Amino acid sequence: MIDCGILFAGFGGQGVLFTGKVMAYVGLILGKEVSWMPSYGPEMRGGTANCGVCISDKPVGSPVVVEPDTLVAMNGPAYDKFVDAVKPGGIVLYDSSIVHPEKIRDDVKTCSLPATALSAEKGLSGLANMVLLGRLFKEMAWGEIETLKTALKESIPPARQHMIERNLLAFKLGFAGN
């Protein structure tokens, strides 16, 4: 049974909300109950941004992810702010190009990959978020890359559908990474 809350957190401009949206679409395509809740405070403008995504077999109660099962930290402040909130046994995923944690919890599964460096190497700058999503997807073992492709198609407005391929490349980079 699936019943999980995922918290995506980082700087505004890193695609935090978009990454969450793609994940929510994955849940929708899998036929689950889903919710996506952004932080919409003044902190969004140039500061930190985060969004909580719930994917469940049951109706979603509170859409606010207070104790995430999974944390995707895209910058240092996000890691520091939320790592202690993750449920024991949960997953913490971070971008090791820019997050250098002082504290690693031993009661959660911590994984990382240098998403920013990896994406820049392949000429996919700005798509570290998709690299992380690829890694997360692998960790969750929820489905095929096809599902992700459909989710991207739904998340990207019609005028920008040409972005799908680049996003997919970045996603595959994370999916293949370790």
- Interacting residues toward another protein by CB under 8 A: 21, 24-25, 28, 33-38, 40-42, 59-64, 66-67, 154
Nearest approach in angstroms of CB 35 to another protein is 5
Residue type, 30: L
Q: What is the DSSP string of 41-82?
A: SGGGTTSEEEEEEEEESS-----S-SS-SEEEE-SHHHHHHH
Comparison of 7 and 24: residue with beta carbon closer to another protein: 24
Residue type, 93: L
Nearest approach in angstroms of CB 61 to another protein is 3
Comparison of 3 and 165: residue with beta carbon closer to another protein: 3
Comparison of 34 and 118: residue with beta carbon closer to another protein: 34
Comparison of 1 and 123: residue with beta carbon closer to another protein: 1
Nearest approach in angstroms of CB 19 to another protein is 13
DSSP 87: P
Nearest approach in angstroms of CB 1 to another protein is 14
Report d(CA 20, CA 129) in Å as an integer: 10
